[in-house]
Amino acid sequence: MNRPVTSTDLSDARPTGPRIVLFVEDGSGDWHARRLKRAMEARGASVVTTTLSACAFDTSSPSGLEIPGFDGLLPDGAFVRSVSTGTLEQITFRLGILHALRESGVRVWNDARAIERCVDKSTATFLFRKAGLPTPPTRVVEMRDRAHAHLCAHPRPFVVKPLFGSQGNGVCRVRGPEYLPPPEDVNNVYYMQHYLRAPDATTFEDWRVFVSQGRVLSTMIRRGKTWITNVHQGAEAIAHDPCEEMSGLALAGVAAIGADYAGVDVIRDQSGQLMLLEINSNPAWKGLQAVTDADIADVLAADFLAAVLKAPAR
């Protein structure tokens, strides 16, 4: 079992009672949101649970924003559990609310910049490469004919992923250009990454490293019966104590993205080289919580509230 992480000491800050907005998928919040809310309230915070879609830009309000439960004023901090799916305009609007909160001096976890970088796999991969971090060889292009040409020039198995996607949904292994998915399946953007496992592999595993405030909280092996190892897809979660190299790689990846907390996916190639796959800026941790002694929601709440209380006064 992973050893629990000591929470950030908030003993001097608890009496201030910060007002927090917790953005969730729907009005009630999921398992994760309920645990976060309870942990924040136990530390003296006042927490309003709402959705980004329920917010508004409003030039008549004192802050220029309307956040449910705050009467036109601003919260002290905002924790983003979910942005929710929607049209391009809806997502742009919701991220705009997060940008506006940050520009107004509200401490946002994670802020819109980090979310945008993680959601767009091509940008995240670029930032990993720019920081000199190992990641599988990747090419991202528009149009199926350009993707077809790349696969013809590099005859080997590839993994094709939706540019925006999570939990292993829509991911496919492509053995050759003739197996490329149709444009409508990937919105005509092809994210193509080298398939790293051995052709005859029968064991499929990678690692999820959970990071907050520049340290590793917990890590698990994700062991699947197929090459897709997401717990959401049926993979088994197994407790793991990461080596220094794995921890360092995960922390460097989160720093390259600029996230406050994140779930980092790490894999080894056939030679044993550790590589960054991707980073989730709104990670789930229900599977991880089942195999660690750390109370992840409590540590996140402590870290977040400490950051809120250290933020400059507006």
CATH number, residue 243: 3.30.470.20
Residue 1 is assigned to a structural domain of this protein: no
Residue 9 is assigned to a structural domain of this protein: no
Residue 148 is assigned to a structural domain of this protein: yes
Helix axes 296-310, 31-42, angle to 10 degrees: 60
The domain that holds 185 is classified in CATH as: 3.30.1490
Instruction: Kindly state whether residues 102 and 162 are assigned to the same domain.
Output: no
Instruction: Kindly state whether residues 124 and 266 are assigned to the same domain.
Output: yes
Instruction: Kindly state whether residues 143 and 163 are assigned to the same domain.
Output: yes
The reported pLDDT for the residue numbered 203 is 81
* Domain that includes residue 205, residue range: 117-134+200-281
Instruction: Kindly state whether residues 156 and 178 are assigned to the same domain.
Output: yes
Which of 168, 194, 220 marks a domain boundary?
Answer: 194
Phi-psi region of 295 (alpha: psi -120 to 50; beta: other; left: phi over 0): beta
Instruction: Kindly state whether residues 46 and 101 are assigned to the same domain.
Output: yes
Instruction: Kindly state whether residues 26 and 101 are assigned to the same domain.
Output: yes
The domain that holds 79 is classified in CATH as: 3.40.50.20
Instruction: Kindly state whether residues 30 and 98 are assigned to the same domain.
Output: yes
Residue 159 is assigned to a structural domain of this protein: yes
Instruction: Kindly state whether residues 121 and 145 are assigned to the same domain.
Output: no
Contacts of 72 (CB under 8 A, 6+ apart): 58, 61, 62, 63, 65, 66
pLDDT by residue for the chain (314 residues), tens only, comes to: 454 444 444 444 444 589 999 999 876 678 999 999 999 999 999 999 999 999 999 999 999 999 999 998 999 999 999 998 889 899 999 999 999 999 999 999 999 999 999 999 999 999 999 999 999 999 999 999 999 999 999 999 999 988 876 555 678 899 889 989 999 989 999 999 999 887 777 788 999 999 999 999 999 999 888 877 777 667 888 999 999 999 999 999 999 999 999 999 999 998 899 999 999 999 999 989 999 999 999 999 999 999 999 988 76
Residue 267 is assigned to a structural domain of this protein: yes
* Amino acid letter for position 182: P
Residue 64 is assigned to a structural domain of this protein: yes
Q: How far apart are CA 171 and CA 228, in angstroms?
A: 8
User: Structural domain tally of the chain?
Assistant: 3
Instruction: Kindly state whether residues 37 and 90 are assigned to the same domain.
Output: yes
Where do runs of H (alpha helix) occur along 60-139?
A: 88-103, 112-119, 121-130
- The 3-state DSSP class for residue 233 equals helix
